[in-house]
Amino acid sequence: MAEPDAPTPAMPQPTEQHRKLHVLAGEWEGEEKLSPSPWGPGGAAFGRYSGRIAMDGLYVVQDYTEEKNGRVVFRGHGLFGWDAQKAACAWYWFDSMGQIPAQPSYGHWQGETLTFESSFPQGRGRYSFRFTGADEHTFQLENSFDGGATYTTLMEGHYRRKSV
């Protein structure tokens, strides 16, 4: 006689921490200011990203392009999620610079600002999303090459959501 099938375990459901990341979903665009760096002379740029809620609400997938003088000069792909073991948001980032991240950047909310931090062989990075309304946020990318004692702003952007 055949045994009845074992019950199927319930699929994970998004928590409040997952749902907080959904604010990143939508079509966003805005002006950016880049500082001179080893990667380029800096100056004005225009950024666009598309964020979509994926995998039953557990992640937000991000595709980003940066334009200077009317042409795309940089591309990125991100994945935001919640790491319950670390009790932190996690952000995996891949871009046209070609570096494979050793691990995600981890972050926390303070009010309406979500700040991630990472370490890499040359230094540290800090990435802040500050929401100034339902459809606006600023993003600041900072680097430190002295163990985190001081940070220098590499890029600042001000984005508006065009659609959800």
Q: Identify whether 5 is part of a domain.
A: no
From first to last of its 164 residues, the chain has per-residue pLDDT tens of 556 677 788 888 999 999 999 999 999 999 999 999 877 889 999 999 999 999 999 999 999 999 999 999 999 999 999 999 999 999 999 999 888 888 999 999 999 999 999 998 889 999 999 999 989 999 999 999 998 899 999 999 999 999 87
pLDDT in tens, 54-75: 999 999 999 999 999 999 999 9
Q: Identify whether 11 is part of a domain.
A: no
The range of the structural domain enclosing residue 124 comes to: 16-163
Q: Which two tokens stand for residue 118?
A: 């990472």
Q: Identify whether 23 is part of a domain.
A: yes
CATH classification at residue 81: 2.40.128.20
Q: Identify whether 48 is part of a domain.
A: yes
Distance CA 69, CA 19 (A): 36
Distance CA 117, CA 93 (A): 12
Tell me the backbone φ, ψ of residue 71, rounded to 5 degrees: -130, 150
Q: Identify whether 7 is part of a domain.
A: no
> Can you give the pTM of this predicted structure?
0.91
Q: Identify whether 94 is part of a domain.
A: yes
User: How many structural domains comprise the chain?
Assistant: 1
pLDDT in tens, 94-109: 999 888 888 999 999 9
Distance CA 62, CA 42 (A): 23
